[in-house]
């Protein structure tokens, strides 16, 4: 007896058929590799909660990028860790700051072959570990912070950054940065805004890697409440209106609904950050025999792209690219 209904299983019969009709395709060129670079070290340092991730020297960060480029990755984002930290994060905008040094090294080595993005924030550079300047009453001074972001953006662009990525979630940050870049003659430097950055517990390993845990309080007064979905879209819309070229949702995996909302509503590219806690969760679970790590990595990345992301920042970038072959 035959049934008139469509036989969807016909197209699942072989690997070749499944590949032929696949809706979401992974490509290494859509992945961005986060790279930590630290001032004052002679050799790379391991990060205990991020197995396989290193704090690099300016020399070894180029080697790490070479490995990434060799497997088809075309973009990296830099997180600098200075030797000296102070209340205003002065090293964030220094001409000889660690991020600026690393940016010049990468651009000298790769030119336009590698998109170099720079995290634009203060938490790695301040002695208090917050993303903005702290006022006398212990709150974050939004407008004073914007002025620092403008200085940092121009310094990073002058060092050769192709993309600056403001991650502090200050109100008006994209507009302020766009104005500063344009006024300084860097109209072609793009802004990838951390537009919907949630106050997540999944940032713990990153804060160890970047040595930037807050010394007091938390970041809930400027990062988003994980319970808010509609607010995330409003944040993204505002950033596009202010001049963002790319908007980002962070974290990625637990916020696929937000990624889908933003991708459906906006025409600009949507990025998603598979954050340190997502990475560590998969690595440690695989070490306990819960599943095959490579299969889990590709499945997790597929879900993020399927939700609507066109760019994914992930510590698995090189591993995923090698697995994809």
Active-site residues, by number, are 197, 250
E runs forming strands in the chain = 31-38, 45-46, 54-56, 75-81, 115-120, 163-166, 190-197, 246-250, 270-274, 311-314
Burial of 278 (0-12, 13-18, 19+ CB in 10 A): buried
Structure token pair of residue 151: 């200085």
Find tokens 């845990």 and name the residue: 213
Burial of 56 (0-12, 13-18, 19+ CB in 10 A): buried
CB 29 within 8 A of CB 73: yes
Residues written for the chain: 325
Tell me 111's DSSP state: G
Q: How far apart are CA 80 and CA 152, in angstroms?
A: 12
Find tokens 């002695």 and name the residue: 127
Structure token pair of residue 318: 């090189």
């Amino acid at each position: 007896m035959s049934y008139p209904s469509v036989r969807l299983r016909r197209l699942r019969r072989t690997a070749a058929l499944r590949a032929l009709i696949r809706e979401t395709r992974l490509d290494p060129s859509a992945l961005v590799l986060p790279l930590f670079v630290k001032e004052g070290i002679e050799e790379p340092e391991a990060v205990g909660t991020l197995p396989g991730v290193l704090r690099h020297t300016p020399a070894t960060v180029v080697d790490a990028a070479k490995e990434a480029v060799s497997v088809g990755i075309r973009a990296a984002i830099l997180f600098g860790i200075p030797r000296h930290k102070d209340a205003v994060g002065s090293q964030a905008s220094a001409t000889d700051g660690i991020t600026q040094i690393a940016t010049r090294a990468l651009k000298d080595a790769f030119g336009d072959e590698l998109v170099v993005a720079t995290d634009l924030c203060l938490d790695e550079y301040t002695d208090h570990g917050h993303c903005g300047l702290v006022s006398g009453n212990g709150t974050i001074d939004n407008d004073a912070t914007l002025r620092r972001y403008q200085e940092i953006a121009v310094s990073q662009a002058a060092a050769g950054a192709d993309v600056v990525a403001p991650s502090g979630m200050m109100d008006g940050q994209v507009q302020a940065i766009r104005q500063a870049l344009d006024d300084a003659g860097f109209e072609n430097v793009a802004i990838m805004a951390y537009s919907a950055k949630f106050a997540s517990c999944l940032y713990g390993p990153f804060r160890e890697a970047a040595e930037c845990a807050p010394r007091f309080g938390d970041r809930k007064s400027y990062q988003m409440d994980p319970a808010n979905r509609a607010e995330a879209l409003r944040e993204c819309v505002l950033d596009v209106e202010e001049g963002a070229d790319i908007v980002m949702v962070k974290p990625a995996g637990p916020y696929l609904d937000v990624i889908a909302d933003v991708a459906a509503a906006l025409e600009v590219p949507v990025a998603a950050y598979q954050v340190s806690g997502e990475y560590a969760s998969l690595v440690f679970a695989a070490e306990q025999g819960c599943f095959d790590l490579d299969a889990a990595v590709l499945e997790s990345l597929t879900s993020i792209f399927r939700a609507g992301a066109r760019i994914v920042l992930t510590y698995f970038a090189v591993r995923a690219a090698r697995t994809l072959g």
